[in-house]
Amino acid sequence: MNEQRVLRGSGVSPGVACAPAMVIQWRFPDVPDRSVQPEEVDGEISRLRAAIASVVDHLLHLRDRVLQRAGLEESRIFDAQILMAQDEDFLASVEHLIRENNLSAETAFEFKALEIRALWSGTGSLRLRERLTDLSAIQMRVLRVLMGTDEEELAFQVGEQCIVVAHELSPGLTVQLDRDHVVGLISEEGTRTSHAAIVAHSLGIPAVMGAPGALEAIAPGTLVLLDGQSGRIVLDPTPHELDLARTQVTRRHKLELELESVAQQPAVTPDGRVITLMGNVDLPEEIDLALRNGAEGVGLLRTEFLVTGRTELPSEEEQLEYFRRVAHAFAPRPVVIRTFDLGGDKFPAAFDAPQEANPFLGWRSIRVCLDQPDIFRPQIRAILRAAAEYPVHMMLPLITRVEEVHRTHELIAEEAASLRRAGVPAAASVPVGVMVETPAAVIVADRLAKVSRFFSVGSNDLTQYTLVVDRGNARLANRFAPQDPAVVRQLQSILAAGEAEGIEVSVCGEMASEPLLAVLLIGLGYRRLSVAPPALLLLRWIVRKVPFEACRVAAENALLAETSHGVEEALRQGVKPFVDLRLLDLAAPLPGRTSGASLVP
């Protein structure tokens, strides 16, 4: 086979898809340097204002469509763009440039926008990436209007099934995609644990990320065969290759039928070991899917989407409304709310955060919340108020010190007393647990267990910090291995520390959704796993297929392995008598819609 037709990346969301490519190029219009006569200046300023009004109307329209399709929270990603487009200081600077230099509106607007881009890019701050994306979107839309080009928003104008190809898939772009027609995603940047990958995984859209050269190699309209499990991309597939893909899809469809049959069956191993399976909920639309797939509660309710792309922090009432909504849906089963994991590129636009050389090792997560109690207290109050009606728990991210847990308990006590004095119905306390996601937390896990009601392992960050591998770096994707012996040993240590104090220990990271790694976790002794809603059926199926004793022996052999490959091989040999390994290689979380044979012509 001609290897020029084959691209490889990281399979981040399993499934097979075949469709024409929809290439999204973030290219700015070619704006000529154009001067105008002095008497034309006022007309240029009027054109600028009219273009801004048109763009704002367009953004409001997009926000309404997202509101109808996904919900209120997701629609707020456009608020920052709307405010940015209407920024009076910026527009005044553009108008000044028009008047002082007799420039056309598009020439002056591009000049000032490029100034800001250069300023923000030069800071090296990762938290400005999202704002740069917003700025790029505004810049392109305004220039298109000013220059009279009539280019539609690609994400909303897909009329037939396609595979989207982009340099980088931002969370905002991913939310906008027409999910009825976008059957696959390809990105030059990103890894399986990047935010966009997690969203694609949750939606059940086959996706490959970290595929360098994809934009250059894939022309618009090219027929693309994508395997979101292996990360293999085939351009202009032959009839034989399509036949092989059909066979794979047929096998997957048979597997999905098996998975559907266990949806409401208990998650019990053949030899009687009960495993509690919960759902990770990132977006409101995942609630129904988690319930349909038999989630026994929410093991991780992320709260960052409440602030991402917004210009202000959510109020106590907004948070309470959302917590009640989720808790009511799952009652009487528990919901574990992770407190704000702010930091990195997840600061709201209005938050005055410092610029840091490495924000992912800096001021983030619990550190922000404890240093800025005005941010933390409303969330604590909302959780306490929800806990008066439903079984909700609080989980603290990126804990590395015992005193961080102590200080959180103090704040909880203070807010509970304040609510009581105000006569507001609220729980006097709430179960507080710790996310174990750093080697530091593992080392002091015995002490953290004494001040925590539960542990939940965040395997994504634990792997990242243990192996010193940026999980968002596509170049290092092959080194990001949660089955690495260094990680596996820590998993054993965390469980031992929790069991010694009699507290519940679970895993809420992405590794729990991988069938072989789930076998490892069960074999180590974990009884509670929390995964993205589409992965629940696959996980329930594997639990019911492989006896606990076989999982235990496989885990023991995995602990003896010296390499990540050795760990994987020990697990494969352990499950081989009970599961067809070919099915495991094909296995994918059952999406909201089947990945079915219709995707392959």
Please state, in angstroms and as integers, the Cα–Cα distance from residue 146 to each residue in 29, 93, 132, 468, following that order: 11, 17, 21, 47
Q: Averaged over 207-229, what is the pLDDT?
A: 90
Residue 244 pLDDT grade (very low, low, confident, very high; cuts 50, 70, 90): confident
DSSP 75: H
* Distance separating alpha carbons of residues 453 and 569, to the nearest angstrom: 35
Sequence-distant (≥ 6) Cβ neighbours of residue 60 within 8 angstroms: 78, 82
Question: Do the beta carbons of residue 509 and residue 530 sit within 8 Å?
Answer: no
Tokens for 293? 């797939």
pLDDT in tens, 440-492: 999 999 999 999 999 999 998 999 899 988 765 666 767 888 999 999 999 99
Residue 556: how many other CB atoms lie within 10 Å: 13
Residue boundaries of the structural domains of the chain: 3-24+159-237, 38-147, 255-436+527-599, 437-508
Tokens for 78? 């456009």
User: According to the CATH classification, is domain 38-147 in 1.10.274.10?
Assistant: yes
Tokens for 214? 């994809």
- What is the value of pTM for the model shown? 0.71
The label of the residue with tokens 């069960």 reads 522
- Do you know the residue count of the chain? 601
Its CATH architecture, for the domain 255-436+527-599, is Alpha-Beta Barrel (3.20)
pLDDT of residue 156: 43
* Distance separating alpha carbons of residues 567 and 582, to the nearest angstrom: 18
Residue 371 pLDDT grade (very low, low, confident, very high; cuts 50, 70, 90): very high
pLDDT of residue 586: 63
DSSP 101: H
Q: Averaged over 522-546, what is the pLDDT?
A: 94
Q: Averaged over 529-542, what is the pLDDT?
A: 92
Question: Do the beta carbons of residue 207 and residue 186 sit within 8 Å?
Answer: yes
Q: Averaged over 341-350, what is the pLDDT?
A: 60
Residue 597 scores a pLDDT above 50 = no
Residue 235 pLDDT grade (very low, low, confident, very high; cuts 50, 70, 90): very high
pLDDT in tens, 377-394: 999 999 999 999 999 999
322: burial class by Cβ within 10 Å (0-12, 13-18, 19+)? buried
pLDDT of residue 71: 52
Rg (CA), the chain: 25
Residue 3 pLDDT grade (very low, low, confident, very high; cuts 50, 70, 90): low
* Catalytic residue flag (residue 195): yes
pLDDT of residue 231: 86
DSSP 282: S
98: burial class by Cβ within 10 Å (0-12, 13-18, 19+)? buried
Question: Do the beta carbons of residue 438 and residue 393 sit within 8 Å?
Answer: no
Residue 195 scores a pLDDT above 70 = no
Q: Which range, of 7-11, 200-204, 564-568, averages the lowest pLDDT? A: 200-204
Nearest alpha-carbon partner for 544 in 356, 273, 198, 335: 273
Which residue in the list 18, 162, 369, 508 is annotated as catalytic? 508
pLDDT of residue 109: 92
Residue 426 scores a pLDDT above 70 = yes
Q: Which range, of 109-123, 195-209, 377-391, 497-511, averages the lowest pLDDT? A: 195-209
Residue 326 scores a pLDDT above 50 = yes
Please state, in angstroms and as integers, the Cα–Cα distance from residue 136 to each residue in 105, 128, 143, 344, 411, following that order: 17, 12, 11, 20, 41
Mean pLDDT (the chain, rounded)? 84
Q: Averaged over 34-45, what is the pLDDT?
A: 91
pLDDT of residue 353: 62
Which residue in the list 162, 195, 201, 369 is annotated as catalytic? 195
pLDDT of residue 133: 63
Q: Read off the amino acid at residue 12.
A: V
Residue 403 pLDDT grade (very low, low, confident, very high; cuts 50, 70, 90): very high
Question: What top-level class would CATH report for the domain 3-24+159-237?
Answer: alpha beta
pLDDT of residue 494: 98
